[in-house]
Amino acid sequence: MRLPLAVLVNAEAIPARHYPTIAAIATSLGEPVVFRVYGDFSAPGLAAWHALVRRQGLAPQLVLADRGAAAAAVALAIDALDLLHQAQVAGFCLAPADAAAAPLARRLRAEHCRVFGFSEAPVPTPSALYTSVHALNPPAGEEALSAEAAARIVAAMEEIVATSADGWVPLALAGQDLRARVPDLAQTLLDSRRLLRSLRATGRVADKGKGFGTKIRLKTA
């Protein structure tokens, strides 16, 4: 059974152009059963979100005019806690994973939920508050990790780690095996420069160690 997810987006702090990436990554992480967007949709600055919400059939959560990102963050947090206590979902996707979302992420993790963050930083800083943090803006010249590519990488990883006694595999060996199993991604998502970032971006791969001692394994779905 796929992980039931609530995808909660502060539209006051995240541009609408990131919706396809958020949706694709969320779908690769689990089953989005709730997708809500928070903001004052009467404001000219949210016109793109307003059009997208109507076109995609998303659930807009209206915030009082002139209250901005902070009010949207509060409304998002209240809804998240309601969903938590209703036991509708087992994981949350929070966009953006900024300072305003940190207390909520901490609370959700304390309740043993999986929490996935989204950041506009090209290379997000890993945080103990989140199960994983995903880039909405990949570094210049790099393509974003699509849901289809993530699924293929995870499927290949399942075969690779099956041969390991403890589930951990050296990153260098896993990279060689992955590039052989999904060769069309070898020169982009799985090249040596981007390999670990791509694996982390799937949300299903854990890593430990540094440099040549880095090892990876699959997280429990």
Query: CA-to-CA distance for 165 and 114, rounded, in angstroms?
Result: 26
Q: How many residues does the chain have?
A: 221
Question: Under a CB-based contact definition with an 8 Å cutoff, are residues 106 and 99 in contact?
Answer: no
Q: Which CATH class is domain 4-135?
A: alpha beta
Return the domain boundaries, the chain. Answer: 4-135, 147-218
Confidence of residue 189 (pLDDT cuts 50, 70, 90): confident
**CA dihedral sign, ordered 80, 46, 32, 206:** negative
Residue 63: pLDDT over 70: no
Q: What is the pLDDT of residue 116?
A: 93
Mean pLDDT on 45-65: 77
Asked if the domains at 4-135 and 147-218 fall in one CATH topology, the answer is no
Confidence of residue 140 (pLDDT cuts 50, 70, 90): low
Asked if CATH classification 1.10.10 holds for the domain at 147-218, the reply, yes or no, is yes
Of 164, 188, 160, 162, nearest in space to 176 by CA? 160
Query: CA-to-CA distance for 73 and 44, rounded, in angstroms?
Result: 19
Confidence of residue 109 (pLDDT cuts 50, 70, 90): very high
Q: Is 51 left (phi over 0), alpha (psi -120 to 50) or beta?
A: alpha
Confidence of residue 152 (pLDDT cuts 50, 70, 90): confident
Q: Find tokens 């090892």 and name the residue.
A: 215
Of 122, 120, 97, 118, nearest in space to 197 by CA? 122
Q: What is the pLDDT of residue 128?
A: 82
Q: What is the pLDDT of residue 135?
A: 80
189 or 40, higher pLDDT: 40
Highest mean pLDDT among 47-61, 114-128, 159-173, 195-209 belongs to 159-173
95 strand-pairing partners: 9
Concatenated DSSP letters of 103-142: HHHHHHHHTT-EEEEEESSSSPPP-TTSSEEEESSPPTT-
Confidence of residue 87 (pLDDT cuts 50, 70, 90): confident
Confidence of residue 196 (pLDDT cuts 50, 70, 90): confident
96 preceded by cis ω (within 30°)? yes
Residue 206 CB neighbours (<10 A): 16
